[in-house]
Each structure stands twice: as C-alpha cells, then as structure tokens.
Amino acid sequence: MKLLSTAFLVSALVAQQALAELTFTVKATRNGKPVPASEIKLEPFQPSRNARTASNSRVPPPPANGKERRTNPSSYSSNWCGSVNHATALNPIKKIHAYFQHPTCTKRTGVATYPQAAAFWAGIDGDTYTSALLQSGTVCKIDNSTGIVRNEAWWQWYPSAAYTITSLPVAIDDWFEVTVEATTTTSGVITLENLTQSLIYTITITGGPTLGRVDADWVVERPTVGGSPAGFAHFTDVWFQDAYATRTTGSLGILGANQYQILNSCSSAEYDDSNEVSWVP
C-alpha cells in the first residue's frame, strides 16, 4: 500500500472527490454520539489490485493445529487466505457481514522482505469477478526490521479509491464488525465498527467502478504495497464470525465456499455456515 503524500480531512457532510468519478461521505459516532467533522480523518493510498491471484501449487493437505477442514473445496492462492462464496448475476450479492478480532502481528521468521503486512477484511467481488472489488477491514504493517507494528483501519473500492481511516483506532484484540453493502452496482455503504472502543464509521459511496456482485469474501490477505507483494507478517488466529452475505433472494454463508490457502504461510477452514478461521501453519 503506497501512501500518497498528504493526509486530509473528510467532512462528515460534504462528498469528497476521489479518483475518477467516485465520491463519498463519511459519518462517525463515538459512544452513540456524533463525532465532529474536524475529528474525522482519512489518508489516501494507491489503490492496489488486491484481486485474488492463482497459485500453481497442489491441492492443500488437511489442516493442522486441531482445526478441521470439512467439505468446502480448497485450493491455493498466492495472496488470499479464507472463504469465498459465489452468487449468480441473476441473484446478486447485496451485502456481506462479519465480526473479527484484530490479531497480534509480528515479523515472520525467515522473511527478509519489508514492509511486512497482513490485511483482514470482508468484501464483494475480486475472485471470479476481477474488474472491481469493494472491501473494508484492518491491516497490520511492519515497515522494517525493528518490528514496530502499525495497526490501521481502511477501505477500498478498486480500482478507483483507497483510504486509511486514520481517526479510527485499531488495537490488538479489538473486536470489529464490518458490513459492506452494494446498494447498486456503482454505489455502496461501508460500516466499520470498533466494538471495543465504541466507534462506528459509515462511508456512503457513489460513482464506484461497476461491481459484478458475485463474490462474497472473508479474507486474510498478503497485500500489495507500492505495487509489489508485501512480506506476509505473522499473525495470531483470525476468526470471521457471524459471517453471511445477503442476495436479492436468500443468503450465502461459509458452507459451500471455496477455502483459499497460501502455501506454507496461511491456512483456512470452515467451522460452520457462520464461522471460519485463518491461521499461520
């Protein structure tokens, strides 16, 4: 994630012009009370093509550490680790939801690439539909060998806009609730809540790149930083809980999703239709 040069203040009331034609507004509450516009701050970073990339590795082996992979099909990816379920264009995804706890991140042993990072998010598209991806969550970043970790909240509508929410604090073990809603193929609402710190951010977006609304993603990712894959930071287990996606008719859960693994770096498994876990093997 390549940060642009200047931070800026986002009004809670006035739409801001992002890249291309995308515009958005941001509102926030703390303990149920509105956060003043002067305290809402976002910082743009270069939108990254974080769509899943394939891997030529063999079919993953059964999981270790007492976690049981059940019946979901499993395959390798080079950058996504988690569950992705699918809808059809005739019955598209409207909203995706999950709770997760921001993990402890540390330098990964034997990895000399910096920065190291790991991102934890829910989103729509980016797997079978790669032209656009609407997503939000948290990320940990380790810039160099000192091992100092930055924990951040963020959202992105690839390929038009990406922002770190610098005024939304992220601490180890904080619980987050994320909801990403595609109100149309080119508009949406992201709600990212730090439940531990009683902060809710709502981003309302229009003019985004056209979504297919066919992929429902609950993912731990090795992100791209500055155009290249970051070193993949070590992280404690991440559970996506109460995970679901609504469609025009009906819903999707974890069961029946594709379980993506990153060879020797990240394993994932479904627990039931509402919960899945990703971990460092």
The pLDDT assigned to 227 comes to 83
Model confidence pLDDT, tens digit, residues 193-208: 999 999 999 999 999 9
Mean of pLDDT values over 58-68:
50
Among candidate residues 43, 152, 181, 221, the one labeled active-site is 221
Model confidence pLDDT, tens digit, residues 174-192: 999 999 999 999 999 999 9
Neighbours of 144 (CB within 10 A): 10
Q: Which two tokens stand for residue 23?
A: 């515009």
| Closest by CA position to 235, among listed 215, 262, 273, 257 | 262
**Amino acid identity of 93?**
I
Q: What percent of the chain has a predicted confidence (pLDDT) above 70? A: 85
d(CA 162, CA 103): 22
What rounded mean pLDDT belongs to the chain? Answer: 89
Q: For residue 128, give the H/E element and its range.
A: none
d(CA 169, CA 51): 26
Helix (H, G, I), strand (E, B) or coil at 39: helix
Model confidence pLDDT, tens digit, residues 197-243: 999 999 999 999 999 999 999 999 999 988 889 999 999 999 999 99
Cα torsion through 175, 147, 220, 155, rounded to 10: 70
Helix (H, G, I), strand (E, B) or coil at 22: coil
The pLDDT assigned to 148 comes to 97
Please state the separation of Cα 271 from the chain's center in Å.
20
Question: In which residue are the tokens 């609730």 written?
Answer: 177
d(CA 178, CA 245): 12
| Closest by CA position to 217, among listed 243, 185, 247 | 243
**pLDDT band at residue 115 using 50, 70 and 90 as cut-offs:** very high
**Amino acid identity of 149?**
V
Is position 181 annotated as part of the catalytic site?
no
**pLDDT band at residue 62 using 50, 70 and 90 as cut-offs:** very low
**Amino acid identity of 138?**
T
Model confidence pLDDT, tens digit, residues 237-273: 999 999 999 999 999 999 999 999 999 999 999 999 9
Q: Which two tokens stand for residue 271?
A: 């627990």
- Partnered with residue 259 across adjacent β-strands are 74, 83
Mean of pLDDT values over 85-104:
98
